[in-house]
């Protein structure tokens, strides 16, 4: 049975709003918003709900999940795939999501270099040999800047009808607060971390002495050694490979990987810029034609005939050249000339491109430009066709 469903059954007599598992996930989200980690791994990710929530956090660029149960991940991993909207409006940040099938008791270089590692309701599912290896793997080997561990508080269990003896049939143990804190403080001392204790799921009024339903330890590395430790360990594995040895990756199965479209990718940036430029040009064209129509209607009762000022200029050597050099949108024949400088002045275009040179490079072969490349050429007839449709 899914552990969240089982928990809901046991806590139905005590109403947690929102549900307890959502409070745990929200606790992690709040930490992410506060500390802005770029790389986050969830150990014991199960149905990937926490990873799905975290993918919307704009600071995160790498998300990884690890679980011993491959089938559970495969059932829900589609939630982590990019949606059509992600391609239509790519984010500025890059985001890669990966799921691994493996044990938290094994070391593997793919789990190095993370800023935050979460272990939500995980340790109570570990057998004793795995629990003994857990601190060295997570705090010694992975060595992230921050680790968050949550686990049931057994002191709360008497308030939950039907808990015999544990909240979930797969639990190997459930600690009281003193047991959890003793274990956590020993880890913190051994691996140069500080640890603070808190929790979610407050007890009913008058029962405050039992503490939170879920107890949480937040570990923070005392010294900023994460990057240097990562580089040293990665160099060690590269050296082993160069010496002709084979390093066996213990998380042998990469269950899932998704790379989200990003404006950092030139391909997606070009698509976004061209789309915004075409939209902006249509807005400018519409405003210009509306203005010319209103001017004509004000001074004439005859049929509307759109002409630009340059069409009436006897001093122009070339009508098209005069229009191209104009700094404002203008009409010549059946086309509208919209200076690129005008398009670049729009905030969204400016924000996407950064420089005028970048704008020109991205749209040069994707839209129709004037002979000197200074303006975008838009057909008026298209406007009339759109109105008729």
Domains of the chain: 3-259 (3.40.50.150), 266-388 (no CATH)
Maximal CA-CA distance, the chain: 97
Find the range with the poorest average confidence among 82-91, 182-191, 358-367.
82-91
Greatest mean pLDDT among 85-99, 179-193, 320-334 lies in: 179-193
- Please say if the pLDDT value at position 381 is more than 80: no
- Please say if the pLDDT value at position 58 is more than 90: yes
Mean pLDDT of 89-101: 94
Tell me if 371 sits within 8 A of 337, measured CB to CB.
no
Read off the pLDDT of residues 264-305 as tens digits, 9 standing for 90 and up: 999 999 999 999 999 999 999 999 998 888 876 666 655 545
Instruction: State the pLDDT confidence band at 51, using cuts at 50, 70 and 90.
Output: very high
Q: What whole-number percentage of the chain has pLDDT above 90? A: 70
pLDDT of residue 62: 98
Read off the pLDDT of residues 114-130 as tens digits, 9 standing for 90 and up: 999 999 999 999 999 99
Read off the pLDDT of residues 206-226 as tens digits, 9 standing for 90 and up: 999 999 999 999 999 997 654
pLDDT of residue 309: 42
pLDDT of residue 298: 65
Average pLDDT value over all residues in the chain: 86
Mean pLDDT of 226-251: 54
Mean pLDDT of 149-170: 92
pLDDT of residue 317: 37
Dihedral angle, C-alpha 84, 85, 90, 94, nearest 10 °: -70
- Please say if the pLDDT value at position 311 is more than 70: no
**pTM of this structure:** 0.78
Mean pLDDT of 69-75: 93
């Amino acid at each position: 049975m899914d552990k969240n469903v089982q928990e809901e059954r046991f806590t139905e007599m005590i109403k947690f709003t929102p549900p307890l598992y959502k409070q745990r996930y929200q606790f992690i989200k709040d930490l992410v918003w506060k500390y802005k980690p770029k790389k986050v791994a969830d150990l014991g990710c199960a149905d990937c709900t926490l990873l799905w929530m975290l993918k919307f956090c704009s600071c995160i660029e790498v998300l990884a999940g690890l679980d011993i149960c491959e089938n559970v991940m495969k059932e829900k991993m589609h939630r982590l795939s990019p949606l059509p909207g992600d391609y239509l409006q790519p984010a500025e940040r890059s985001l890669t999501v990966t799921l691994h099938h493996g044990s938290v008791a094994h070391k593997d270089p793919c789990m190095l270099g993370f800023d935050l590692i979460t272990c939500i309701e995980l340790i109570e599912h570990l057998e004793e040999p795995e629990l003994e290896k857990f601190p060295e793997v997570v705090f010694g080997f992975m060595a992230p800047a921050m680790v968050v561990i949550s686990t049931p508080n057994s002191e709360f269990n008497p308030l939950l009808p039907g808990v015999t003896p544990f909240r979930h049939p797969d639990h190997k143990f459930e600690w009281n607060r003193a047991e959890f804190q003793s274990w956590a403080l020993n880890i913190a001392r051994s691996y140069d971390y500080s640890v603070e204790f808190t929790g979610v799921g407050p007890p009913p009024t008058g029962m405050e002495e039992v503490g939170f339903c879920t107890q949480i330890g937040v570990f923070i590395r005392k010294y900023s050694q994460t990057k240097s430790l990562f580089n040293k360990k990665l160099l060690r594995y590269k050296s082993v490979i160069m010496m002709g040895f084979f390093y066996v990756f213990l998380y042998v199965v990469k269950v899932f990987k998704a790379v989200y479209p990003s404006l950092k990718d030139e391909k997606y940036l070009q698509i976004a810029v061209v789309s915004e430029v075409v939209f902006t040009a249509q807005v400018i064209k519409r405003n210009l034609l509306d203005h010319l129509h209103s001017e004509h209607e004000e001074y004439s009762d005859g049929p509307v005939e759109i002409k630009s000022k340059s069409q009436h200029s006897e001093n122009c050597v070339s009508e098209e050249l005069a229009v191209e050099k104009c700094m404002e949108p203008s009409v010549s024949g059946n086309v509208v000339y919209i200076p690129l400088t005008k398009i670049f002045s729009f905030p969204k275009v400016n924000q996407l491109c950064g420089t005028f040179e970048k704008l020109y490079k991205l749209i040069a072969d994707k839209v129709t430009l004037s002979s000197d490349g200074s303006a975008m050429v838009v057909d008026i007839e298209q406007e009339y066709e759109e109105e008729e449709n």
